[in-house]
Amino acid sequence: MRALVVAANFANFRRNGRAERRALAVPRSIPFSPRMTDIAAIIADRSNRWMQAWVEQDRATLEDSLASDFALIVSANPTQLFPRDRWLATCDVYLCSSFAYRDVAVRELAGGLAVMSSIADQQASLNGVDRSGAFFLTDVWRLEGDGQWRVCARYSSHPEPYGASAKAIGELGS
């Protein structure tokens, strides 16, 4: 997989002979897997564009990225759902200056349904309170009637630090 990075940095590009200015999406050290499915590549791209839109405060792309029944669930309060309209409103005060996915895994569950897990590193603040750090994210993506993949749920928590427990689980796969 390729780590997906969104930063509030811009560069000039040439496309079909025309100059364009756009935000950088810089690959990290994790390359695309040659076994990455087309759906996984689409989900990875849509995820990157969604978070780039958050950094850039691009409301149209934010709205287009979310299914009508989108909900955010955070580990700090797992019984409280943040529905689509509330999440979009929060974007006005939850400001992100950089966002980067790493350790991305996409799995197609069934036709038209996929899950992406990742660690995300962000520099952000919510109403002036620092919310920077690493988050373990699980996103549920659904193929909508118009042919576009949209995220219908995001589960967010802090990643488990590497220790004896994580090592024991890792050894199961050996």
Which pLDDT value is given to residue 40? Answer: 92
The pLDDT > 90 percentage for the chain reads 68
pLDDT digits (tens, 9 = 90+) for 68-94: 999 999 999 999 999 999 999 999 999
Number of folded domains in the chain? 1
pLDDT digits (tens, 9 = 90+) for 7-17: 333 333 333 44
What does the alpha-carbon distance between residue 174 and residue 165 come to, in Å, rounded to a whole number? 15
Q: Which residues contact 161 (CB under 8 A, 6 or more apart)?
A: none
Which pLDDT value is given to residue 53? Answer: 97
174 confidence band (pLDDT: 50, 70, 90):
low
CATH of the domain at 80: 3.10.450.50
What does the alpha-carbon distance between residue 101 and residue 90 come to, in Å, rounded to a whole number? 21
What does the alpha-carbon distance between residue 107 and residue 16 come to, in Å, rounded to a whole number? 34
More confident residue, 158 or 1: 158
pLDDT digits (tens, 9 = 90+) for 42-72: 999 999 999 999 999 999 999 999 999 999 9
Question: What's the pTM?
Answer: 0.77
Mean pLDDT (the chain) is 83
Q: Do 88 and 60 form a contact (C-beta atoms < 8 A)? A: no
pLDDT digits (tens, 9 = 90+) for 29-42: 333 444 557 899 99
- Domain range for residue 45? 5-172
Which pLDDT value is given to residue 115? Answer: 97
Tell me, what DSSP letter sits at residue 33? P
| Alpha helices per DSSP H over the chain | 38-56, 59-65, 84-90, 164-172
